[in-house]
Amino acid sequence: MNTVVQLRTSNLDLRLAQEDRLEDAGRLAPDDRMTCHVHGRWIHQCASSAAHVNQVTRHRWCRECRTALTVAVDELTLTVHMSCPACGDGRSAATRRLEAACEASLSYTKGRPAALAS
């Protein structure tokens, strides 16, 4: 480990690298990551991207309406809610897990860390 490099990189970069390692080692589920390795951001900052919609696993996908859910991030209450623009719900187990990961990253960046494996 190179501590000089670590000191110069941001908290996000450190967390990204840490979660990449934990995920590769099978110690962290992709769904539970607070960072996104595709976008290089905190998950709540990019969960509204189309890349986070998955029709198979039903992350952010309403099966009934065949529609992507929209994402509402509330920085005040540190909550993230996803809902179908057509039926108003459309959430799945995968979507709830994505919401939980987004709320964890939101809380983490606001200095109120949620319970996390480190």
Which positions lie near Zn ion, rule CB under 5 A? 36, 38-39, 46, 62, 64-65, 84, 86-87, 90
Instruction: Give the integer Cα–Cα distance in Å for 19 and 118.
Output: 9
Residue whose CB is less far from Zn ion, 6 or 11? 11
The nearest distance, CB 7 to Zn ion, in angstroms, is 26
Instruction: Give the integer Cα–Cα distance in Å for 54 and 51.
Output: 8
Residue whose CB is less far from Zn ion, 7 or 99? 99
Tokens 């539970």 appear where? 32
Residue whose CB is less far from Zn ion, 7 or 66? 66
CA-closest candidate to residue 95, choices 81, 107, 79: 81
Q: Which residues contact 83 (CB under 8 A, 6 or more apart)?
A: 69, 70, 72, 89, 90, 91
Contact 34, 104 (CB under 8 A): yes
Residue whose CB is less far from Zn ion, 62 or 78? 62
The nearest distance, CB 26 to Zn ion, in angstroms, is 21
The nearest distance, CB 82 to Zn ion, in angstroms, is 11
The nearest distance, CB 92 to Zn ion, in angstroms, is 11
